[in-house]
Amino acid sequence: MTTSTMTGSRPEARAAVASPEPARTVDTADCFDFSCLETLIIDSPVDTVYDALFKVTEWPVHLPHVQQIDVSYDDGQYQEFWMTVASETDGSPLRVRSIRNCRYRQIEFFQPQPPRFLRHHAGIWRFIPQEGPEGADRTLVEVTHLWNLEPEIAAEVYPATPDRSTAVQVEEMLAGHSRLALASWQAVLGKPSGASGDAKKEG
Tens of pLDDT, residue by residue over 44-55, are 999 999 999 999
User: b or e along 130-155 (b: 16 or more beta carbons within 10 Å of the residue's beta carbon)?
Assistant: beeeeeeebbbbbbbbbbbbbeeebe
pLDDT exceeds cutoff 50 at 8: no
Which of 48-57, 86-95, 189-198 is the most confident on average? 48-57
User: 3-state class of 113 per DSSP?
Assistant: coil
What angle separates helix 166-189 from helix 46-54, to the nearest 10 degrees? Answer: 120
CA separation for the pair 185, 84 (Å, rounded): 18
The per-residue pLDDT for 88 is: 73
| pLDDT in the model for residue 191 | 59
Other CB atoms closer than 10 Å to residue 35's CB: what's the count?
24
Residue 106's pLDDT band (cuts 50, 70, 90): very high
Looking at residue 90, its pLDDT comes to: 73
Average pLDDT over residues 112-118: 96
pLDDT above 70 covers a percentage of the chain that reads 81
**Structural contact between residues 124 and 25, judged by C-beta atoms closer than 8 angstroms:** yes
Q: Do residues 12 and 108 lie in contact, with contact meaning Cβ atoms separated by under 8 Å?
A: no
Confidence of residue 187 (pLDDT cuts 50, 70, 90): very high
Distance, CA of 167 to CA of 122 (rounded, Å): 16
pLDDT at 86: 83
What per-residue confidence (pLDDT) applies to 7? 44
pLDDT value of position 9: 43
